[in-house]
Amino acid sequence: MRVSSQGVTVVALLADPDAPTEIAQRMARILSTRLADKSGQGRRFDVEVVSEPFTAGTEDPPTLMRRIMDRGRAENWDIVVALTDLPLHSHGRKLVMDVSHEHGLALLSLPPLGGLRLQTRARRAVEEAVLGLAGPRATGAEGPPRNEPLLGPFVSRLAPVHPGPVGEEETADLRYVVSGPRGYVRVLVGMVRANRPWRLVPGLSKALAAALATGAVATVNSTIWGLAEYLSVPRLVIAMVGSVGLMVGWLIIDAQLWHRSTEVSPEARQRARLYNASTVMTVGIGVLVCYGGLIVINLVWALFIINGQVFASVTRTPLHAAEYLTLSWFVASVATVGGALGSGLESDEAIRAAAYSKREQERRHMLQDDHGD
């Protein structure tokens, strides 16, 4: 690691576009002060954020580390920490961070940090990495022993993170990974968060238009009134689950979101299962958000349009709050089925753009090109 002649350690946060850049920019506002306070001895840090797609075309950690090293050599940076929202794998394990004390580099994969308090967890991981790289053991002539766990606080805060194996020819000399069921769940939740499932709502404009139109018509249909009135709560739940499942399945099949691996290795199959699970959860959360919105819209429409006397004459039941809620709930299920049919009008690219982060879209494009070749 280089040491600035002015006594200021220049730290570059090299971030993939989209979510990693946003996280790095928010982190950079306070990172200099926090690093100076933690390092002591009057040391100063200058933090820069550089947004560029350094993971384009590959998700191989050794290749990415070499790219980061080459990028850092071209600039006046003392330490480079790269952030990506792609899930990375190494030796069958899910990678959290690669660190090279010799070159002053670190590569952080955000999905293994989970979906909750991501900003805080990412900042703590970057702080520990920078302080470890800027410490005296990082600047010694011999460097740290390979695989020596220097970032103890990083591990304890982010369990089930633990040191992982590093190949002798790799740029990294320290690696952190996650494993086991808890690690799998954290990576999965992190991948779903990176995809930002709430973006699916505005991204499916034609499907939403079809759902709203279906709901508006169903709300004033006397047959729907009668069905809603005599449906029990378990049947309403079954209707909800069925309509949401139909919408999710249709979107995944129609837009070809299901990942099929051409490799037969257990690691490739495990990655495929992880990607497909994140797809189902991403689309499922997005559809559930749409479903909740339909309930609210249908309720407002019902309050405005339905006449209590007409409703009572058809169903022989007074129109009270429970009837409004039951009707809105059932109509939301009917409207979701209409939305599933309307989603066929959306282009596959529009659905992928709404369902995936920018890095995930590029990764899937790359895989499709490889399969085509």
Query: What is the model's pLDDT at position 330?
Result: 95
Q: If DSSP codes are grouped into helix, strand and coil, which group holds residue 134?
A: helix
CA distances (Å), origin 10, targets 6, 56, 151, 225: 10, 25, 20, 67
Question: Residue 318 — φ and ψ, nearest 5°?
Answer: -60, 150
pLDDT for res 13: 95
Q: Report yes or no: 72 and 105 within 8 Å, Cβ to Cβ.
A: yes
What pLDDT score does 180 carry? 80
Helix (H, G, I), strand (E, B) or coil at 328: helix
**77 torsion bin: left (phi>0), alpha (psi -120 to 50), beta (else):** beta
Per-residue model confidence (pLDDT) at position 360? 60
Predicted pLDDT at 250: 86
pTM score of the predicted model: 0.77
Q: Check residue 32 and give its pLDDT.
A: 92
pLDDT of residue 302: 92
- Three-state DSSP class for residue 136: coil
Pair 340, 208: CB distance under 8 Å: no
Amino acid 217: pLDDT: 92
* Inter-residue contact 130 to 167 (CB < 8 Å): no
Selection from 356, 336, 185 nearest residue 248 by Cα? 336
Distance CA 349, CA 358 (A): 12
Beta bridge partners of 44: 8
**Which segments of the chain have a pLDDT < 70?**
1-6, 136-160, 261-265, 267, 343-373
pLDDT at 92: 76
Torsion angle of the four alpha carbons 155, 67, 59, 284, in this order, in degrees rounded to the nearest 10? 70
Contacts of 39 (CB under 8 A, 6+ apart): 45, 131, 134
